[in-house]
Amino acid sequence: MSILVAVKGFSLGLSMIMPIGAQNALVLNQGIKRNHHLTTAALCALYDIILISIGVLGGGLLIASSDLMFTLLSWGGILFLITYGAMAYKEAFEPAIEHQQPHKHKSLKMIIVTSLIVTFLNPHAYIDTIMILGSVGGQFKGEEQLYFMVGAMAASVVWFFTLAFGAAKCAKQLQKPKVKRFIDLLIACIMWLIAAGLYNSWVVRVYT
C-alpha cells in the first residue's frame, strides 16, 4: 500500500512539474547552452524538495484554508507568469546572433541567484508544491505521508535531471534559430495559459 502511495506522489508530482514553467525554462536554456546545467537541475530539485516538505507537513492545508493567502499567491503568480511570458515572447523575436558571437555563459553565482528568483519569487511554484501537493499529501498519515512526500520529491529530481541531460544532448538542434524561436513562443504561450488558469481558479473560489 505504501508503495502505491509513493507512486501516487511521484505521478502527481510529475504532472505538476512537467508543464513548462519558469524553472523548466531555466533548466532547458542552461542545458541548451551546456552551462552549469546539472547544477541548475540540482538547485531546482532541491528547492522543490524544500517546498514539498513544507506543503505535505502542514503548510499546504494552512495556505489552502486562507482566502487572503490564496488571493495573494494567485495574483502574484498571474503577474509573474505574464511578465515571464512577455520576456520569452520578446526573446523569440530578437535577432539571431549565435553564429556571430559565442553564447555568454552565466557564472555559477548568477545561476544560483536566477534559480532562487524563478523559484521563490514565483508564487505559482508555491501553488504547485505547497498548496496542491501539500494538500493531497496532508490527507495521508504517518508512514504513508512520508512515502507520498518521497515520491513527489523523486519526481522533481528525475524530471529536472532528465530535462538537463536531454537539452544538453540535443543542444545543436535546439540552438537552431527556428527551433529556439518555437521554444520561446511555446514557453510564452504556456506561461500565459497557466496565468489564465490561475485567474479562473481565483474567480471560481471568490465568486462561488
Say if CB 151 and CB 8 are below 8 A apart.
Answer: yes
Handedness of CA 21, 76, 116, 126 (dihedral sign): negative
Among residues 133, 123, 126, 117, the alpha carbon closest in space to that of 12 is found at 133
Handedness of CA 208, 75, 114, 89 (dihedral sign): positive
Question: What single-letter DSSP state applies at residue 57?
Answer: I
Q: Torsion over CA of 54, 55, 61 and 65, rounded to 10 degrees?
A: 90
Say if CB 70 and CB 205 are below 8 A apart.
Answer: yes
- pLDDT for residue 60: 65
Residue 168, C-beta contacts closer than 8 angstroms, at least 6 positions apart: 31, 32, 34, 37
Q: Torsion over CA of 66, 15, 165 and 113, rounded to 10 degrees?
A: -10
Between 97 and 168, the higher pLDDT residue: 168
pLDDT, tens digit, 9 for 90 and up, residues 5-58: 999 999 999 988 887 788 998 999 999 989 999 999 999 999 999 999 998 887
- pLDDT for residue 92: 84
- pLDDT for residue 66: 74
The three cell numbers of residue 110 are 548568477
Question: What single-letter DSSP state applies at residue 100?
Answer: T
- pLDDT for residue 157: 97
- Residue spans of the domains in the chain: they are 2-207
Say if CB 164 and CB 37 are below 8 A apart.
Answer: yes
pLDDT, tens digit, 9 for 90 and up, residues 94-116: 765 544 444 567 789 999 999 99
